[in-house]
Amino acid sequence: MKRFQQADALKRLPEQFFAKLVGKVSAVAAQGHDVINLGQGNPDQPTPPHIVAALQEAAVNPQYHKYSPFRGYDFLKEAVAVYYKNEFGVEVDPKKEVAVLFGGKAGLVEVAQCFLNKGDTALVPDPGYPDYWSGVAMAEAEMSMMALKEENDFLVDYNEIDKETADRAKLMFLNYPNNPTAGVATPQFFKETVDFAKKHDILVVHDFAYGAIGFDGEKPVSYLQTHGAKEQGIEIYTLSKTYNMAGWRVGFAIGNESVIESINLLQDHFYVSLFPAVQEAAAKALLGAQDCVRELADMYEKRRNVFISGLQELGWDVKAPRGSFFCWLPVPEGHTSESFADYLLNEAHVVVAPGIGFGKEGEGYVRVGLLTDEERLKEAADRIRALNIF
């Protein structure tokens, strides 16, 4: 029985929980209901025009119709170094400490492939972005979950990780501002992270996908701002959220030289880097004026204010997120995250993502993405109010 039989690595891939949600939403929409979809994480705004214009201009350059250098153009990696210096005060060597990625997602899976063997252990946040599970599963490694608890502001409590597990772990994923909990890291937390990782010899992979989205005047902290961070790991940055470029697939791994070299080595066998015109536009995004980014964060903050105050007024005890574009809301008593998401979909035609889809510790919460305009968010809150359940 060998006809096109899938490799075991593919069979190990985790089930896509949210595919099921898409099916349920389509069924309700097919009945003709006006569905407000707050269940996904796809930015709703277009890429700023100056970045699109840069791509248009670059696309006609015949030089860019050829293969890129294998590891991306130097000008792009230099732009990343300038950006990190300007935004976070972090110095990186563009030649050795920056890898160009096809979006953050690719890097997160690649880094697991680069460093995990069968039976190895990776520390993974729970709840967390499900793509961390994929590379670990493909490598036939084990996940040891790190609970993100509300009483710790959704930061990992390293005292909760037993010594034996910590000593065994090779790699750790972190993500702040956090998807799905909207938790934000402090400099002190990253200091504890570096100390813990150093003590147990663990590679830190900090996913900084929401690095540009902080509220109330707070700018998210980069892991690389911590003393000793580069010796202990990398940060994965993406243009998807910062510049609404999710469809462009541009990301970077930044930090430890030997880790960057490993990612580049793996990629040498898969790709010949991004379309060079996309690389040029990405460099212009990073080097240009950053007003568009501040405006975007302000927009999400206004949406947050409208939505969260709407929910608080109707009696739902929810906290305002301080970063990312997600709200992490406790479900009312008597419901699971899935039963409550189904209830909101069927009775209010409002889609939210059940917390259980992000891991066991996500039970008891639903995630809302602030990815529609204020009016629709207000409408969603009004529809929930009309259910009279709080």
Ligand X SMILES: Cc1ncc(COP(=O)(O)O)c(C=O)c1O
C-beta separation of 380 from 350 below 8 A? yes
Q: Quick one: 16 or 339, whose CB is closer to ligand X?
A: 16
CA 280 to chain CA mean position, Å: 24
CA distance 386 to 115: 51
- Location of structure tokens 């003590």: 199
**Rama region for 7: left / alpha / beta (φ>0; ψ in -120 to 50; rest):** beta
Q: Quick one: 238 or 310, whose CB is closer to ligand X?
A: 238
Q: Quick one: 121 or 240, whose CB is closer to ligand X?
A: 240
Q: Smallest distance, Å, CB 132 to ligand X?
A: 9
Q: Quick one: 103 or 321, whose CB is closer to ligand X?
A: 103
Q: Quick one: 39 or 41, whose CB is closer to ligand X?
A: 41
Q: Smallest distance, Å, CB 55 to ligand X?
A: 17
Q: Smallest distance, Å, CB 378 to ligand X?
A: 25
Q: Smallest distance, Å, CB 104 to ligand X?
A: 3
Q: In whole angstroms, how far apart are CA 11 and each of 5, 123, 132? A: 10, 22, 16
Q: Quick one: 240 or 262, whose CB is closer to ligand X?
A: 240
Binding interface with ligand X (CB under 6 A): 41, 103-105, 129, 175, 179, 207, 209, 238, 240, 246, 251
Q: Quick one: 72 or 251, whose CB is closer to ligand X?
A: 251
Q: Smallest distance, Å, CB 325 to ligand X?
A: 9
Q: Which of 110, 123, 228 is nearest to 175 (CA)?
A: 123
Pairing mode, strands 142-147 and 121-126 = parallel
* Euclidean distance between the first and the last CA atom of the chain, given in angstroms as a whole number: 57
Q: Smallest distance, Å, CB 241 to ligand X?
A: 7
Q: Quick one: 250 or 348, whose CB is closer to ligand X?
A: 250
Q: Smallest distance, Å, CB 245 to ligand X?
A: 8
Q: E strands of the chain, at which residues?
A: 36-37, 98-101, 121-126, 142-147, 169-175, 203-207, 233-238, 251-255, 326-330, 350-351, 353-354, 365-369
Cis before residue 332, ω within 30 degrees of 0? no
Q: Quick one: 246 or 389, whose CB is closer to ligand X?
A: 246
Phi and psi at 145, nearest 5°, equal: -85, 140
Q: Counting Cβ atoms within 10 Å, is residue 345 exposed (0-12), middle (13-18) or buried (19+)?
A: buried
Q: Smallest distance, Å, CB 286 to ligand X?
A: 14
CA distance 388 to 368: 19
The alpha carbon dihedral of 324, 177, 218, 243 has a sign of negative
Q: Smallest distance, Å, CB 39 to ligand X?
A: 13
Sheet holding 353-354, edge to edge: 326-330, 365-369, 353-354
